[in-house]
């Protein structure tokens, strides 16, 4: 029996015990109408039970823990005081919405959270009428709730309430300020609740964070309150874990017209000591003991490194030798592993908060002064700074180095977080190099090559998860821009892969009887394409398969089709594999690759059935 199975038994036993101890009130709550039948004096007990329920499920099934534990009292108060779903409640980002889901009809299936076919890890309109707005990325709640409030006004629904719950890290983002700026000149029935715990995923940063800290320390700092200056009725700060005080203030705010702002102070991870003490780790801790909070030990394996750590450690290695290198991340120092540079070279590493647009243009400004900025952003979050990439960086040919972590399917976070569009939206931009390393060594070498000096900006996309090489810290080699690599000769079919999915391709054809007929090319560069290599491929092969971990619409495969068309390569069979033209939901990366036929077995079948003319496998063997 594996260690995983042993720990599962321990988790289940402790979970059963914990759930038996916590079902006195919560077991009778199926929706907010049931919640409102309770007496106010019963709500603190419900808060304990709800908190324990979240701990128990997340301990066994994994997920986002700390944020939801911190807003248990707020969640209960909101659904108790307001008439949800008629009153509209918007959670910013959604990491903190587990309690909301449990109280709104999803308790019995909450153990499917973030699993294939189960509940989404974020509020989702198609999942429940209580999820007023779908979220996943930050700082959208104020604009969305304001839009709802103005719409209600226009429809004459003057008594309808509209609430946005936003964290102190998210409110520092530009879009949140745009929403505040507009809301302040309306008379919309809008309540913004600032959940101030001094944390995002990592600790909050910036001048606004310092300002909020001063308000918490000394209410006299309210004298020149920035929120009141924007024409909001400001109240607070109050203890967000004090249910009676919180409910009394919400009842009062219901009677006030126009834009309102409630500042509450909470503790991320509240109720689980380990989560309170290590808030970064327990944001999404993996499996742990529900009783003690201790993280469960993982099997000691000699594994290849995570791509994010290859990036982070390589950047430090390069920056120690090249004093012009700068590291920039918008609020993801841990997730991107820029933390290594922040620790070792803090004067040249910057966490700018949840501010992707600012991060990109900050990098552009540094590049004008001959610095070498490495701007590391999750692929899905670069979508938020598309104009800055074009207008501020590429149009001016500023050699910013974009390192796009979490490119491709990312797993349990689902559609809001998959990084599948970057190839398509980047390759259409002139003067931009787009590269996808097949492994850790290629990632190191392209980072080394980029910091030597390029005439254009470059985007380097790499996936979530681990690489394939244990001995990855090889001496650096300069890569030639726009040059691919032949990995294997063949006689009948050419496979063109881009990025780390190429390792799955190797596994797929290694199991073929006719493996000698398959040629494999690691193209490396999406832009510029290696046209010399492509001419060789098209002159030799009539059957070509392209494979990418990105959308098939406008992606790498489309670039190959365009090449064939532009160069009059007719009568060729070109098959594209990639992410289909639909939003992919949540599940493990392995499950999702199987679902869209990007796993080893499916790729092998594609080769056999379509190109080697083997009969389709029957259902018994599939």
Positions annotated as catalytic residues are 268, 356, 384
> How far apart (Å, rounded) are the C-alpha atoms in residues 587 and 602?
18
The kind and range of the H/E element at 243 are helix 243-254
In the numeric block, which tokens belong to residue 550?
């990105």
Taking 3-state DSSP, the helix, strand and coil percentages for the chain, each rounded to the nearest 5, stand at 45, 15, 40
Measure Cα distances from 56 to 18, 28, 102, 110, 413 in Å. 7, 18, 13, 11, 20
Q: Token digits for 536?
A: 């060789």
CA distance 176 to 135: 14
**Which residue reads 């930050």 in tokens?**
138
By the 8 A CB rule, do 374 and 340 touch? no
**How is residue 131 annotated by DSSP?**
-
Name the residue among 556, 573, 583, 564 with its Cα closest to residue 502: 556
At 60, list the tokens: 């066994």
Among candidate residues 174, 122, 164, 172, the one with its CA nearest the CA of residue 142: 164
Q: CA 364 → CA 345, 370, 401, 481, distances in Å?
A: 21, 10, 10, 21
Q: Name the one residue in this structure whose structure tokens are 């030990």.
A: 297
CA-to-CA distance for 166 and 223, rounded, in angstroms? Answer: 23
Instruction: Report the phi/psi class of residue 589: left, alpha or beta, with left for phi > 0 and alpha for psi in -120 to 50.
Output: alpha
Residue 464 per-residue DSSP state? S
Strand order, beta sheet including 349-351: 349-351, 325-329, 372-378, 401-405, 458-461, 433-435, 525-527
| C-beta separation of 165 from 193 below 8 A | yes
| Alpha carbon distance 188, 158 (integer Å) | 9
CB 423 within 8 A of CB 551: yes
């Amino acid at each position: 029996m594996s260690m995983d199975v042993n720990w599962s038994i321990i988790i289940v036993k402790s979970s059963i015990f914990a759930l038996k101890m916590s079902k006195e009130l919560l077991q009778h709550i199926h929706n907010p109408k049931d919640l409102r039948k309770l007496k106010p004096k019963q709500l603190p007990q419900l808060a304990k039970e709800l908190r324990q329920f979240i701990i128990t499920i997340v301990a066994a099934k994994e997920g986002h823990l700390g944020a939801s534990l911190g807003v248990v009292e707020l969640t209960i108060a909101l659904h108790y005081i307001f008439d949800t779903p008629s009153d509209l409640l918007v959670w910013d980002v959604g990491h903190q919405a587990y309690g909301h889901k449990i109280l709104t009809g999803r308790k019995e299936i909450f153990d499917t959270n973030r699993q294939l076919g189960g509940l989404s890890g974020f509020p989702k309109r198609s999942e429940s009428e209580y999820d007023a707005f779908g979220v996943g990325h930050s700082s959208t709640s104020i604009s969305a709730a304001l839009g709802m409030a103005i719409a209600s006004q226009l429809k004459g629904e003057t008594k309808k309430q509209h609430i946005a719950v936003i964290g102190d890290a998210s409110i520092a983002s530009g879009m949140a300020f745009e929403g505040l700026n507009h809301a302040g000149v309306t008379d919309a029935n809008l309540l913004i609740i600032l959940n101030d715990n001094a944390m995002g995923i990592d600790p909050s940063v910036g001048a606004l964070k310092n300002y909020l800290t001063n308000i918490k320390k000394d209410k006299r700092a309210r004298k020149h309150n920035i929120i009141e200056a924007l024409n909001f009725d400001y109240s607070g700060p109050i203890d967000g874990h004090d249910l009676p005080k919180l409910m009394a203030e919400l009842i009062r705010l219901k009677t006030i017209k126009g834009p309102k702002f409630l500042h509450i102070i909470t503790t991320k991870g509240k109720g689980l000591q380990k989560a309170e003490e290590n808030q970064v780790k327990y944001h999404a801790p993996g499996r742990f003991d529900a009783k003690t909070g201790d993280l469960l030990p993982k099997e000691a394996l000699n594994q290849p490194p995570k791509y994010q750590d290859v990036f982070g450690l390589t950047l430090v290695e390069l920056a120690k030798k090249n004093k012009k290198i700068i590291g920039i991340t918008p609020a993801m120092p841990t997730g991107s592993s820029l933390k290594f540079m922040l620790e070792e070279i803090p004067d040249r590493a910057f966490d700018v908060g949840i501010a992707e647009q600012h991060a990109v243009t900050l990098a552009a400004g540094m590049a004008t002064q001959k610095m070498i900025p490495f701007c590391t952003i999750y692929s899905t979050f670069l979508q938020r700074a598309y104009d800055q990439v074009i207008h501020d960086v590429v149009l001016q040919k500023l050699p910013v180095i974009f390192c796009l972590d979490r490119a491709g399917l990312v797993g349990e976070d689902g559609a809001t977080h998959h990084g599948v569009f970057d190839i398509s939206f980047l390759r259409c931009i002139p003067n931009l190099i787009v590269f996808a390393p097949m492994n850790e060594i290629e990632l190191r070498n392209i980072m080394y090559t980029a910091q030597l000096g390029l005439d254009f900006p470059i985007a380097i996309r790499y996936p979530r998860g681990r690489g394939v090489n244990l001995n990855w810290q090889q001496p650096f080699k300069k890569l030639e821009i726009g040059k691919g690599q032949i990995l294997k000769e063949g006689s009948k079919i050419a496979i063109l892969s881009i990025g780390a999915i190429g390792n799955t391709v190797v596994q797929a054809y290694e199991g073929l009887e006719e493996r000698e007929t398959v040629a494999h090319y690691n193209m490396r560069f999406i832009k510029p394409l290696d046209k010399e290599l492509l001419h060789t491929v098209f002159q030799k092969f009539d059957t070509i398969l392209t494979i990418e971990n990105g959308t098939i619409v406008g992606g790498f495969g489309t670039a190959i089709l365009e090449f064939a068309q532009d160069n009059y390569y007719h009568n060729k069979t070109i098959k594209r594999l990639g992410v289909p033209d639909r939003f992919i939901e949540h599940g493990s990366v392995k499950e999702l690759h199987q679902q869209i036929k990007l796993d080893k077995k499916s790729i092998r079948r594609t080769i056999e059935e379509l190109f080697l003319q083997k009969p389709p496998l029957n259902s018994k063997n599939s």
